[in-house]
Structures are given as C-alpha cells and as structure tokens.
Structure 1
Amino acid sequence: MSNHEENSGAVADNVTPIDAAKGKPAADGSDLPFIRFSGGWVYLKTCKTDKKGETYYSLQAVCKSHLRVIGTGWVDGEAFRVLELGKDKRRVMMPTRLIGSRDGWAFLQGHNVQVTPVPELRRWLHEYLMSETAYDLHGSPCGVLPEWDVADKPGWRGGAYLLPDGDMIGDVGNVIADFKLRSNHADVGVCGTVDSWVENVGRLLYGNDSPTLALGVAMASPMLGVLGVSGFGVHLYGQSSGGKTSSCYPAMSIFGSPSNRQASWNSTPLALTLLARCCNDALMMLDEMKLLRAMVMEEAIYGTFSQRSRMQGNKDGTLRPEYSWRCCVLSTGELAADVFIRMMTGRDADAGALVRLVQLPYRPLTNLHGFPDGSAFADHLRAASDEHYGAVGRAWVDWLSSNQTLAREKFAEVKARWNGRGTHGQHQRVADYFAVIETALTLSSKTLKLDVKECQGVLDRFYADWLVDFSKGGNGSHEEALLVERLEAVLSQHQRFLSKTANDQDYKQPGELWGYFHDRGDAREYLLFPAVFKERISGTIDAKVAGRLLHTRGLLRRHGEHLTVSERAGGYPNKRRFYALSLPVVDDLDAEEVL
C-alpha cells in the first residue's frame, strides 16, 4: 500500500483493516471491509486473480479526496445519487446515468474529486457509486441509502431556509439544492458582521425616511413565506441624481453585495420573472425604470408579482415546467410608473399594476450625520454598504426560522394598527403591505438598533403620500379617481362642444364634435356622444361601470334605469341618446392654500 496509508493520521481501529491487507488476509477477503474512509482518501476492497487461478483481496485507494454516497432519489423521472465531497463535505447531486461513463468521471473531476486514473480500480468505484447500500464514515454498512428530495429554488422549505448558493439555514432534512436558475443579482456573499453593519451603515438611517423604508422592504422579503402573504414592490421615484439608488444600498446590503444585487429594469418581462425566481423569499432590486419599454411595463409588473411563470407548451404537445416565487421588489426611477406609461403610450396604467408595485415619492436625505452635504453622505452610505453586507440577512433568516410563531403573532398585532386605512379594498391591500414592513422593522429593531416609533412615523408618512396620489385626493378607488380626471379633461375642451340650441353646421373647429352643452339650473351640463364617452372617459373600464361610478359621485344624470338620457340637440328633430355629465364642484381654497 502507499506511504499515505501508513501515515494517514487515522485512528487505530480505522487502520487495522488496511494493515491486515499487508499481512495475510483471509483467503476470501472476509476480514476486509467493502469500503474504508481514511485520511481523506477512499479505499475499496478489490480482488485480483493471478495466472494460477488464485484470487487475492486487498484495499486499494480509488479516490484521493473525500467521496461518500449518502443518498438517492428521483427528479424529473431520472435517478440520482447524493454525494458528499471534499474536506467541507459539500453535497452534490449526480445523475446515475453518468456513473461509470467518461462524462461521469469528468463530472467528478469537475468537482475537484481526485479519482484514480486506473481503469480497473474505477470499475470498483463504479460499483460503489451504483450501490444502494449506505455506509457510515467508518465504512460499515448501515442499511439502505435514504431517499432525498430536490429543492429547485432558494427560500423557505419547511422551517429551514435555502440560500441561492446552496447553503442552508436551519434543519432542512434530506434535501439537496439543485437550482437550475442562478443569478449574480441574488448574491448572498458576506463581508463584515451584524455589529459592523449596524455601526457603519444602520446608524446612518436614523432621520432619513427613504433608506428606512427600503430597509423595511428588504427585511420584509423573507417574512412573506412565514406570514403567508403575497409579494409586493415599492417604487421610489424622484429627480435624477437625488440619491434614490444610494438610499437603497443599505437595503441591498442585507443579503449580499449591493453592487452585485442591483439589477436593472432594462430587461424583458421574461427575464424579470426568472430573476424573481432566483430571488425567491428575498429582495429583488431594480434600478432605472425608464429603461423598460413602456409598452411592456404593465406586463412586466403583472408577471413579476403573479408569483408564477407564464404557462407555455412544447412542440411535442407537452407543457414546459412552471416556475413559482415570492419576493419583495425595490425599484427606483425618475418617474412614477403611471406617469411614464401615460407619457409614452397615451393611456392610463391599470390600477392592479399600481397596487402590486406601490409607487412613492422619494424623500431626500435630511439627517446628514455630520457630512457636509447630501452628495457626500450618499456616497458614504453607498461605500459603507459595499464594505459591510450579507451578515444581517443570514442572522435575520436564522432568527425567523426559530421564531415563526412569534413573527405571526407580531404581524397580527401590527396589522390591527393598519386596519381601516382608506375606504376601498385597494387602500387596505397596500396598508397590509406596510404592516408587513412595520412588523419586520419592529422585530429586528433590537438587533439593528432601530427606533420603532421613528419607523412607524416613516411608514405613516409614506402611506399618506401614496393614498393622496393613488386616489387623487379622494376616498375611492384608483379607477374612480382616473375616471374623474379623464372626465375633467374631456369637459374642459370647450371647443369640442356646441350649444344645445345650435345647429351642427355651426361647428367650425378642427377635429370631431364631442357633444353639446346647456345650463341646467345653476350648473352647466354636457351631453356627450356615447362613442366619445366610451373612448375618452371610460377607457379600460366597462362603460356601464364607469357610468354608475360617475352617477354615485353626482357627475352623471341618469334617466330611470338608463345611464343615458334622450335629448334633442344640434338642430336634429329627433331625440338622441347622450351621457349627461357635469364637472365636479371644486371646494373653496382653505386659508393655507390662499396664503
């Protein structure tokens, strides 16, 4: 045997079978184990028959690095073995179809396994790899190889959490990670400690609303699976070079290198859904919304937050595998999503997209913590986040894995504070998102040295901003607010209307005639052609729904059960049907607005 066997450093009971092979082993090899793990090498019992027909048994080194089969299983109709490799005993899944083939040996060597080059010895290693017998670290048989499951995405699995690099936090059981989708934007590297992050990054967030909100979104992301809530996003918009991206760096540093985790909206909708899969149960950061084509923005938003990939078929009639995920998205851009869509396409964004991706005006950095100006402070915040990252996220997930019940109880308590916000279901849905964020900040406040009252104030201010913008100062849905906005825009185009008593021949303006106006009591009423109403006011809302909403607000006069009225106008002898509309009454300016 090699000198390595004689000086392996293994304990005596491990070396005894090897020493026995040097002496006079039993003729049938019964005193030798089938396999022995010693000194980081792997030995297998082999036999050789000489020219005289005598058979000799011995232990031969078949691998000069640690290799042990610890499990078996099936995935996509294909069998595999779970291997334990190297000094760090990392786990690797090897398809059984590769075992014994040239590709199989290349597979092992690709994982830095030092397999023997001797073909005859490889035959014995092939036999071991294909065996369903389990062997302990001493090489003793211990039953049948256990069945293992395959995790195809990172995130929560039971009470344990799988990181995108394959590491596991908590007891995940017999599960091996096989992530076919990987992205550098899901980086989970570590630099520094929790304490160093708090000292160099976390303390700088006090008094600054936007970084605090972004931190809350990051901390909320692994809580989604624990609380059983859907993913959501927050889009911070504001002027260029205002510090939006720098304010998000502390949030990105929670799980890994912020420079690596930062992705861009300059992607296809499909690419964004695949990235969301890679960031399952974690934060997904997207910068520069204006780089995404406006025509596909709603598709991208819906696709990302649908939590399931688009169903697609193969040419052979079978369905492609579907991907699912659950994550929080942090986004930045110079414009709000709905403004960008309207500016580039001329149409209004769907309210559903704006509920999934909550757009909030960016609040500039105000507490500069001694730095001369906002630019210097933002640069320091970015640099500090690049030097201290990853440790907080791992510690946070580790705490959540052991305290899931406590997290749910705290969420129920916090959610009570957010119940009843607004008068529409859309308002409450977004309020629930803020409740998740507040829960995350509250539970992590002791470790990260956060002021809970300060965090609550930040979230209250942002929610108030969102509510005013989303419902345009009203209490209804976003669709209703946009409906009134479009109504005002149409009825303000006075040149498109004729007096009810005039003849259509009197209309000399370029463009089509939209209807007529007349005074009804103290208010002016507009009689709008149904086609114009459907095209320019109801928009994506069903005309009947739009009419009922306007009637509820006192802006549409109906006739009995009909949403339209019959009137003579434009010099026509017969009555025609119109939508009878009025402009909303504007309240008098209050004292502050006058001043």
Structure 2
Amino acid sequence: MNNPDANVIKLRPDVATIKPDRPCWAVYEHWVTNEKGEKLRPGVYRHGFKRSVLDQDTDEDTNTARTTVDEWIASPVTVIARTTNSDDDSEGRLLRLVTERGVREWIIPMEVFGGSGEDARRQLFGMGVIIALKKRGAFMEYLLAQCPTEVFATTCRPGWHESSGAFVLPGRTIGSHKVRYQSSGKGQNLFSLRGDLEGWKTEVATKCEGNPVLTLAIGCALAGPLLSLVGVLGGGVHLVGDSSSGKSLAQLIGSSVWGDPSIFAASWDMTKGGLEIEASGRNDTLLPLDEIKRADPKRVQEMAYSLANGQGKGTMTREREGRPKLSWRLLTLSSGERSLSEHAAIGGNAAHAGAELRMVDVNAGTRTHRAFDELHGLDGANFHRELTVAVGAHHGHIGPAFVEKLLASDDRPGLLKDFAGIRAQFIDDNAQAGRVADRFAVIALAGEMAIAYGLLPWAPGSALADCQLLYGEWLSRVGSGNAEDRQILAGIADFIAKHGSSRFSNVNASEDDTKVFNRAGYWELSMGKRLYLFNKPALIEAAHGHGLPRVVKALEGANALADHNNERKMKNYRLPGGGQERLYVIDPEALDGERGRV
C-alpha cells in the first residue's frame, strides 16, 4: 500500500471504466466504473486489496485470493508540480483542487508534513475540499507520495518575478505559465476582477479626462510596473484638500486599476509594521492611503521614508536568526486635509525636507470644482456619485492589461528612450527637484503608454500635460533651490514671527530687558529695518535641529547674514548691562520669500 513507486491515474472525462494497477493512488475528476462494474464518485482513491481468511492462513501472495478495495480519501486533489519559492528557497507542491465552486490551485508548503498537517487541511476545507475524517492521515500520505517531474517557481509577493521576467498576481501570472503566486490562503484577494475593461473605459476613464488629479491617480497606479524598468525610485503624491473635496474618489479610481477599490484602498491608520505588510502586498502596483490625520504624527515622516525606500525593518526569530525583510517598489497615493509636514508638527516634530520630497503635495482642494477641473456636464454631487458606482461595477482590468501590452512589446531600450524624452520636459534646477520630476515623468509615461495601447480613451499628450501642470504647481509653491535650505530659512522666519517680541530685545538699550525669558538674542535697527541677532542655541532651535554649519550655509546662500566680521560668520556686540557676545546677524527680509513654502 505504501509503494513509493505508486502512480496516480489521471482519468480523461471520456473514459468510463478503469483498471488500476493495484496497489496505487488515483485521482478522478468524474464518475468512473471499476473492473467489477461498481461506480466510483470523483475523488482521491487508494486502490488496494483486502486479504481473505484463506490467504491469511496460507500466507499466499496471489491476487486471486484477494478482494479489491477502493477507498475514497478526498474530493479530487491532484499534485501538479513541485514548487520552489524564490523568496526563501522553500519547497512546496502545486495542487489542483476540484470543488463544487469550480477548479482552483493552491500551493501547500512541504514544511506542513513535519507536523500533523492540521492547518493545511483546515485551509483546504475552507477552499471547498472534502477530506474523509477517518482518512486524514491517508490524505497526507497520498500528497507526500507524489513525485511530479515538473517544477514551478513561486513567490509570496506580487509584481515582477526577477528570474523569469513574469508579472505575478494572485490567481494569475502574466508572461509565464510556470510561475505562481503563493498565498497563505487567509487574506483577501486584493487583485479581484469585476465587470470588464470596456465598461471601465466608458464609465470611468472618459470622465477622468480633463481632471489632472484623477488622471494622476490612474497614472500612479499604472506607473508601478514601470519603476524598476526605467530606474525611478519609489515615493508618492499626497492629495491635499478639505473634507469631501474629492480626494477619496481619486484614490478609489486609482485603486480600480488593480482591484476592488473597497478592498484595495488602505488607510494611514496602522502601525509601521502593518504599513510594510500592505506595501509588500501591492508590490509593483499602487498603495492608496486615505486620511493622513489617522497616522501617528510622531512616526508619519518615518513611514513616508520607509514607503519610498522600499524596505521594511529587520526582525529576528526566536532562534535569533534574521527574518527576511519585506520589500516593495511602488508609488503611494496619499490624501489628507493637511500636508505631511503639518501633520508631523502636531506631534511636535520638525518637518524633514526628505520626507516631503518623498510624498509630494498636490492641490486637490482649490481647483475649479474643489478636486476637479471638469465635471463633463454634471454637477459635483452627481459626478462623484456616478464615478463611485462605476468603479464598484468595473475594476481590476486595466492594470493587468497594461502589463500584458508591456510584455508583448518587449522593448526595454525603447522604453528607456521614451522615458528620457518625457523626463526632459520636466525642468529642475537641483537633484531634489529632479527626484520629484522623475516621479511625475514616470506617471506621465504610464498614462501616455496606456493611451497608445488603446487602454485609455484620452487624447495623446493629455496625460503628460496634466502631470506637467501639477508638477509646475508644486514647483511654484515650493520654489527652486535646495529643500533643506528652504526649510531652514522658513523655520527661522517663523521663529522670528513667533518670538520676535518676547525673546529678543534692543541690543543698544542702556539696560538689559528683564522681561525677556529664555533669551534667543537681540535686535538692532540698521538702514531703517530691524535685524535679529541670534545666539547659537536659538539659531539651532529655530532651524529645527539642523547642524550649525548647515544652518549658516543656508543663511549665506540666501544672503540673510547681514553683517559679520570673522570666519565664524558672527559679529561681536557689547550687551546692555555689560559684557559682550558674538551673535549671528540675520536680515528677516531675506527670509520672507521662504515662509509658508515648505
């Protein structure tokens, strides 16, 4: 019965009678008739013999003295192939399951055979497989006995599979028939399908044309598969606008590119570890994050860095061995009533320019119709309602279709050339603005490619024009130059506006002002304007913790250091009440252009 060479007999639907080479395992997906004319229902069988009393007494080894036995073990489960997981090199078996709900596949890890296999059987029951309760051990024995020759690769992460070049999604692999997505079977399928592509194009995409925020959302979703191909780092865009302005609709539309918006869209309301899991589960696609106000203000900038950098935090097992880090490449489509830096400030944290560059603010609240520019003959409420209904009825089609077209073209040099041509149309004057320009350029490229593929019913060039418009708005809002410089200068300007009368006093006064507590420095009048004389601790405080040399560099670059007489960029002053001190002389007028721009 435990013959390791036993073969599984696979029955064609048109075959009605079987003559198994007993003892053996067999799988039948249809009703069959055995050699005695008995009907056997579909399932996994163990074909063997029941030894008769005469045979047991004589110890004869002859089939003539045995009665045939056909044990039904489970509903039809066929072991199709061996699997090797590309993420951790673990082995498994690819199973074909025939259930009342239809045919599906599932990968069972080989490690389950090291225990009772109870968890694996529980998941199989959940997928519709029926296993005879008294044959649970036999079922595991059957699975373990199979030795398929075909080998498939698997991965627990969607997106590009590096060794094969295929694009892997739950339930579907584009570009290879020998790669599968390996799921635990417990989570929701984010990449579900409903309706059809034509319905999505007609009812959703046509209404997005002329609306830069909505075309940006679709471009973000389609750009995910392009990031690694054109060498653009991850990051995101953050839609900023008042409540009910239309930001969430843009996220629903972006989500509908890959799956059911009600499931695919996520929220900022989670831990950093949870965010890493959500990002990894949407690798090479899109991560929509609704309502930044739900994020922890003290950690939101750290989370923005993590999303853009594409790698989670390392952890260890109980055996003090490092677990594989989660990783991803994607664009984030965030939304909120306030910017990333404004939300971080609630927790008492200074804004980090790097975090803001990784999650770029986009105006989604003060356009012609709040988040929209064109309502296509509808009022705002009906426009919002029709699109919300449409993405629920049609979703999950254009993303895979875009990847199919991309793989069919198979022109990496041409893709890089196209990206270079679009990128050249986004002007930048420094590396930081260049990173933002890269992001808008790859979003524009994705939109223009989808138009050329016939997947988006928009005029050629419209996706590029919309991205150029939004990038231009961002550039005019933050200004040119280094982002850290802007942040330092704005911080000092805000510090003067807040504390100019309470923590500074006239340096030329006859006596020291005793009403000043926690002194930041002094002020003096020069050429009809007030200059502020900062001491070192106050200057560092105003610049939100940047190092003193970095602060001085930013002030020099803005010509904001009004007077100094040594290499330290400071001037020596006699103080009211006696004594002297070297102070930084700052012209607030040189800072005015930076206030409110970061």
Q: TM-score, normalised by structure 2?
A: 0.82
Kindly tell me: are residues 182 and 167 of structure 1, through their superposed partners in 2, closer, same or farther at Cα, counting changes over 3 Å? farther
The answer on whether the counterparts of 1:99 and 1:130 sit within 8 Å (CA) in structure 2 is no
The answer on whether the counterparts of 1:41 and 1:61 sit within 8 Å (CA) in structure 2 is no
Compute the displacement of 1:547 (Å).
0.4
Q: How does 1:117-156 map to 2 (within 5 A)?
A: 123=138, 128-131=142-145, 133-134=147-148, 145-156=149-160
SS at match of 1:221: helix
The residue number in structure 2 matching 1:361 is: 363
Q: Distance in 2 between matches of 1:204 and 1:350?
A: 37
Q: How does 1:71-470 map to 2 (within 5 A)?
A: 71-73=81-83, 80-86=92-98, 88=103, 90-95=105-110, 97-98=112-113, 103=118, 108-115=124-131, 123=138, 128-131=142-145, 133-134=147-148, 145-157=149-161, 158-163=164-169, 165-171=170-176, 173=178, 175-180=179-184, 184=188, 187-342=190-345, 344-362=346-364, 363=367, 364-371=371-378, 373-404=379-410, 405=412, 406-418=414-426, 421-445=427-451, 446-470=454-478
Q: Distance in 1 between matches of 2:12 and 2:586?
A: 93
Q: Deviations over 1:458-485 (max 9, x none)?
A: 2122112212333xx3x21222112222
Kindly tell me: are residues 350 and 65 of structure 1, through their superposed partners in 2, closer, same or farther at Cα, counting changes over 3 Å? same
Q: Distance in 2 between matches of 1:78 and 1:286?
A: 33
Q: Distance in 2 between matches of 1:236 and 1:441?
A: 18
* Gap regions ≥5 residues in structure 1: 1-7, 22-28, 135-144, 589-595
The residue number in structure 2 matching 1:541 is: 546
Q: Distance in 1 between matches of 2:117 and 2:244?
A: 55
User: Which amino acid is 2:456 matched to?
Assistant: L
Q: Distance in 1 between matches of 2:245 and 2:173?
A: 38
Q: Distance in 2 between matches of 1:395 and 1:455?
A: 18
Q: Distance in 1 between matches of 2:302 and 2:344?
A: 12
Compute the displacement of 1:49 (Å).
3.4
The residue number in structure 2 matching 1:480 is: 485
Equivalent residue in structure 2 for 1:502, among 488, 505, 509 = 509
The answer on whether the counterparts of 2:168 and 2:180 sit within 8 Å (CA) in structure 1 is no
Compute the displacement of 1:146 (Å).
4.0
Q: Distance in 1 between matches of 2:534 and 2:137?
A: 86
The answer on whether the counterparts of 1:424 and 1:476 sit within 8 Å (CA) in structure 2 is yes
The residue number in structure 1 matching 2:6 is: none
Compute the displacement of 1:307 (Å).
1.2
Q: Does residue 489 of structure 1 match 2:494?
A: yes
Kindly tell me: are residues 569 and 114 of structure 1, through their superposed partners in 2, closer, same or farther at Cα, counting changes over 3 Å? closer
Compute the displacement of 1:560 (Å).
4.0
Q: Distance in 2 between matches of 1:182 and 1:513?
A: 60
Kindly tell me: are residues 233 and 182 of structure 1, through their superposed partners in 2, closer, same or farther at Cα, counting changes over 3 Å? farther
Compute the displacement of 1:550 (Å).
0.6
Compute the displacement of 1:332 (Å).
1.3
* Greater Cα offset, 385-394 or 242-251: 242-251
Q: Deviations over 1:258-301 (max 9, x none)?
A: 12222222222222121111111111111111122312211222
The residue number in structure 2 matching 1:139 is: none
User: Which amino acid is 1:366 matched to?
Assistant: D
SS at match of 2:424: helix
**Root-mean-square deviation (Å):** 3.2
Compute the displacement of 1:245 (Å).
1.3
The answer on whether the counterparts of 2:402 and 2:455 sit within 8 Å (CA) in structure 1 is no
Q: Distance in 1 between matches of 2:473 and 2:324?
A: 41
* Greater Cα offset, 211-220 or 103-112: 103-112
Q: Distance in 2 between matches of 1:543 and 1:249?
A: 45
The answer on whether the counterparts of 1:276 and 1:304 sit within 8 Å (CA) in structure 2 is yes
SS at match of 1:201: helix
The answer on whether the counterparts of 1:43 and 1:59 sit within 8 Å (CA) in structure 2 is no
* Gap regions ≥5 residues in structure 2: 1-10, 31-41, 594-598
Q: Distance in 2 between matches of 1:200 and 1:212?
A: 14
Q: Distance in 2 between matches of 1:253 and 1:352?
A: 30
Q: How does 1:500-539 map to 2 (within 5 A)?
A: 500-503=507-510, 505-520=511-526, 524-536=530-542, 538-539=543-544
Compute the displacement of 1:545 (Å).
0.9
The residue number in structure 1 matching 2:583 is: 578
Q: Distance in 2 between matches of 1:301 and 1:101?
A: 43
Kindly tell me: are residues 292 and 263 of structure 1, through their superposed partners in 2, closer, same or farther at Cα, counting changes over 3 Å? same
Q: TM-score, normalised by structure 1?
A: 0.82
Compute the displacement of 1:392 (Å).
1.4
Kindly tell me: are residues 461 and 88 of structure 1, through their superposed partners in 2, closer, same or farther at Cα, counting changes over 3 Å? same
The residue number in structure 1 matching 2:70 is: 60
User: Which amino acid is 1:170 matched to?
Assistant: G
User: Which amino acid is 1:465 matched to?
Assistant: E
Kindly tell me: are residues 533 and 130 of structure 1, through their superposed partners in 2, closer, same or farther at Cα, counting changes over 3 Å? same
Q: Distance in 1 between matches of 2:133 and 2:295?
A: 53
SS at match of 2:277: helix
